[in-house]
Amino acid sequence: MDLHLNGKTALVTGAGRGIGLAVVRALTAEGVRVVAAARTPTPDLTATGAVPVAVDLSDPAGAGRLVDEAVAELGGIDILVNNVGGGDGDLTGGFLDLTDEQWAEVADLNFFATVRVTRAALPALLAARGAIVNVSSIGARVPHGGPVPYTTAKAALTAFGKALVHEFGPRGVRVNTVSPGPVRTAMWESPTGYGAKLAASMGIPHADLVAGLPTAMGMLTDRLVEPEEVATLVTYLASPLAASTTGADHVIDGGAVKTA
């Protein structure tokens, strides 16, 4: 299917691995010129043909610098994919175990970084009558299903998308949210990631935790979501084929969330 994206421009954050890398690959395959932001650009990211930009978006100055580089490189921004985030820190304890510093770090990465990048990019997006896709999590809908700072930040991110489209939708900018369930990424599979730390805290082998995760989460597909599946949905929502789709939160979770 031709998504009518050839020649469009995009800025993707959190692009070094996992969902972000898959999104960059999907967009470039459609002929989109992409600036891809990552704290540490990887060889896999460079191989996509996107323009990699090394930036730490937990630094408040990083967002403006990134958007300036993207506009200079691309001549404008048609699509913004806010994928920066993560839940793979040491957050395996309960609410009373978590410090203010941990809360602030998680909120900054999973919420405020997107706020800052979006604010910096909106003039270009308004000029292009562009599209924003925010990558959240089903944790926003089932906040007990993950570390409380992470799921709370993702709930804020989902609400942010809903609020943003009411202000800027009438001015031509579409905003959608994609909320994946557990995805086959380093967060779960890395020996130093959140999944490994969670398994250790539970006293079970890491491999057993990952293998049992779909069942534990109630996923009817009995497997983790693949990054490419999320990327396909993001790319469609960014395309002109989704011109009447805006202000929505699109769950891709193998049926884990049971409510409408």
In the chain the domains, ranked by start, together with CATH numbers, are 9-181+226-249 (3.40.50.720), 183-224 (no CATH)
Q: Angle 62-74/113-128 helices, nearest 10 degrees?
A: 30
Q: Are 181 and 253 in contact (CB under 8 A)?
A: yes
Q: Measure the CA–CA gap between 126 and 128, rounded to whole angstroms.
A: 5
Q: Please give the pLDDT value at position 88.
A: 56
C-alpha distance from residue 229 to each of 5, 67, 127, 224 (Å)? 18, 27, 30, 11
Strand locations in 168-255 (E): 174-180, 249-252
- What stretches in the chain show pLDDT beneath 50? none
Which residues are annotated as catalytic?
A: 150
What rounded mean pLDDT belongs to the chain?
95
Are the C-beta atoms of residues 130 and 80 closer than 8 Å to each other?
A: yes
At residue 198, the pLDDT reads: 87
